[in-house]
Amino acid sequence: MGIPRLLSHLEPYGVEEQLGNVDIIVDGPSLAYHIYRLGSSSTLTARNGRQGPSYSLLGDTAIAWLNRLQEGGFKVVAIYFDGFLPLAKRPTRLERLLQSSLQLQRLHATNLVFSDHGPSVESPTLPALFPTHGPRRDVSHTPPFLVPAILERLKSAERYASLVHLVPGEADEYCAEHALAHGGTILTSDSDLLIHDLGSGSVVFLGDIHPRTKDAEDPRPQGLVVSRYYPREIASRLRLPQPLEQGLIRLGYELSKDCHASLSQLLEACQKPLSRVDNDQFQVFSQPYKSLSVESRHAADIFSASAASNLDPRISELVLQSTSYQRLLFTTSPGGFATQPQGQAQEPLIFLPLLLDCPVRTSAWDSSLAVRQLAYSLFHLAYPGWPGSVREYRRIQSTANKGKSLRLLSEACTLEAAAELSSVLSHMADAFDDEPDLLWFTFALHQDMSCSHVQGEDPTTFSAIRDILLPTASSAVSRGTTTTTTTTPTTTAQGNWITLHLTAQCQAALYSLRILAQILPLVLQAAAPPAEPLAATLHSLQRLLARLPSLSEYPAASGTLALVTDLRDHPDRHLPRVASVLGLQPSDIIPRTRNEEKRHKKQQSRKRRKEQEEAARQEDRIGSASKKVYTNPFDVLGDQ
């Protein structure tokens, strides 16, 4: 979150400059959120709510934004993304998660209609890349897969793929280290970078890049203008103690103790020696701002060359909590991974993306829990060391929330679960070979069915489908019509949030499979890879999961609504296959209209009548046989 008021104190020391031929180091997470704010500023306002930019639009905007920078003279040399956040950051993360969870509750309480971020929620054009006014702070729900979606898009772009680095630490540390070693300018939204030692390097905040307005009295060519901060020069102008650790870092420390102090008061405090207690606290505070060790830099090089560099940030963070995986990965650099846990193995944590699901319902992550449990268990089998469970964080009500602990499966249960999942996916892939949307939607329904069966409850997805279509089904009943193809499902608050929750369950199922898909290569490349028959099953799963959609193709609420409506409006097209794969009747999924229900009841009545008539005839035959008169005393023996 940054040190409060640090930028406001140092803002006068920024230097306005024309964009020139400068090497740029990009703070990846900051870029992702900046792009989202740009996209949110340009999208249309939905009725009684907001229409969010799609992942596809955000990815295209990120590429266009970087391209425009390079056209203006900047040269992008590296883009860093967090691959691990230290234990010390956990309170901050819990606080952020709590604020996002509370924001979701407020949206549910106040917004009648709210749209999510998906492939069908598009703006006709890219947003203004460098608006003259800063992008407004968006008050809606941040897209749950924002950072990995931008990371995925950059990796797919030939121009930037080789510049993207997922690092075994925080992105800002590696941005600072790059600037210290090679010079250049860091693009970020994190004011904490102002107190890092950047050598000759500098900092530009993403919101401080603007087009130069045309001015007849200004002979300079039009282009992009930035406000640039040079930490070493700022420290010199403020006459802060040297080295920098006793200067800007000390300034940040004093400000963290008293955010209401004036700059002159802070500078005065920086000239005084620290007490013993203060010095201990200062050493803890200054640790994240110190230069990386040689071992840590070497560990980052090893990490970048490994399969782990292809993981999503949250998945990378999970696997790096395994001491046995760390030992394997960093075997040539003992102790090089500075954040590795010490002592007894701790329960690993994963902060799952905060989905746009209904906050008064059970988390949308619950229905696909079994897939993630399998992924965690497979990784634990390949890299032992976890204490037997993984703790997940989703929505929370307070920072005291302990998350949800998932027990890891035994080897035998892991083999059984992997084989079952492979069988299910193979069957569905055959049934929906050229219809991926139906495939993954049906898989989400299957996961909800399985989860509900284990808990002894009714599947929530089927009731959601009925609730989405209920108003139109009811209107059809009142009119006595035989079709609902001209009616539209509800767009009321209740109906909208039901659709959003169903969509979130589909997204959770897909992302759970994505976790499994990204962990499988690590498992298969382990020092002691799985033996048969598990190895064959995992290779089969790997082939099946290669069909997973990219994050930009994840379903949106509008797409879910269209799919459900299509199943209802064309019941003979796809519905029988969906029902058959799930072992259900079509009517178990899509509710019947009144006339359809009448026809069904008549068919059932005729069927029961035929069964009753057949039973009566059978009874007559049995009765006639029992009344047979035997004239020969040995005839009865022939009937036996």
The two three-digit tokens of residue 77, written as one number: 């040399």
CATH 3.40.50.620 fits 22-229, yes or no: no
Average pLDDT score over residue span 167-188 = 95
Q: What is the pTM of this model?
A: 0.86
- Cβ neighbors of 75 (< 8 A, separation 6 or more) are 21, 22, 23, 24
Q: Looking at the predicted structure, is the pLDDT value of residue 369 above 90?
A: yes
Q: How far apart are CA 626 and CA 555, in angstroms?
A: 66
How high is the pLDDT of residue 596? 58
Q: Hey, CA dihedral for 19, 20, 25, 28, is it positive or negative?
A: positive
Asked if residues 179 and 294 have their Cβ atoms less than 8 Å apart, the reply is: no
> pLDDT-based confidence at 592, cuts 50/70/90?
low
How high is the pLDDT of residue 373? 98
Average pLDDT score over residue span 433-437 = 92
Looking up tokens 């060391």, which residue turns up?
385
Flag the least confident range among 14-23, 208-217, 471-480: 471-480
Average pLDDT, the chain: 84
By C-alpha distance, which of 535, 84, 28 is closest to 326? Answer: 84
Distances (CA, A) of 210 to 42, 43, 404, 438, 455: 17, 20, 45, 45, 55
- Kindly provide the residue ranges of all beta strands, DSSP E only, lying in 243-388, ordered along the sequence: 349-351
- Classified as helix, coil or strand, 205 is strand
Flag the least confident range among 45-59, 460-474, 625-639: 625-639
Q: Looking at the predicted structure, is the pLDDT value of residue 67 above 80?
A: yes
Report domain extents, the chain: 22-229, 344-476+492-591
Q: How far apart are CA 384 and CA 48, in angstroms?
A: 51
The two three-digit tokens of residue 606, written as one number: 């005729």
Average pLDDT score over residue span 439-463 = 91
| Integer-rounded Cα radius of gyration of the chain | 31
Asked if residues 39 and 123 have their Cβ atoms less than 8 Å apart, the reply is: yes
Summarize pLDDT for 105-151 with one digit per residue, the tens. 988 888 655 556 665 445 558 888 888 776 666 557 889 999 999 99
More confident of the two residues 300 and 347: 347
Nearest 10 degrees: CA dihedral of 423, 429, 432, 436? Answer: 130
The two three-digit tokens of residue 639, written as one number: 């009937």
Q: Looking at the predicted structure, is the pLDDT value of residue 477 above 60?
A: no
Flag the least confident range among 276-280, 343-347, 565-569: 343-347
The two three-digit tokens of residue 270, written as one number: 């920086």
Residue type, 35: I
Q: Looking at the predicted structure, is the pLDDT value of residue 486 above 50?
A: no
Asked if residues 468 and 561 have their Cβ atoms less than 8 Å apart, the reply is: yes
The two three-digit tokens of residue 522, written as one number: 């690590």
Flag the least confident range among 295-309, 320-334, 356-370, 543-557: 320-334
Contacts 24+ apart (CB under 8 A), 62-66: 62/31, 62/32, 62/35, 62/150, 62/153, 62/154, 63/153, 63/154, 63/157, 63/159, 63/160, 64/126, 64/129, 65/31, 65/35, 65/38, 65/129, 66/26, 66/159, 66/160
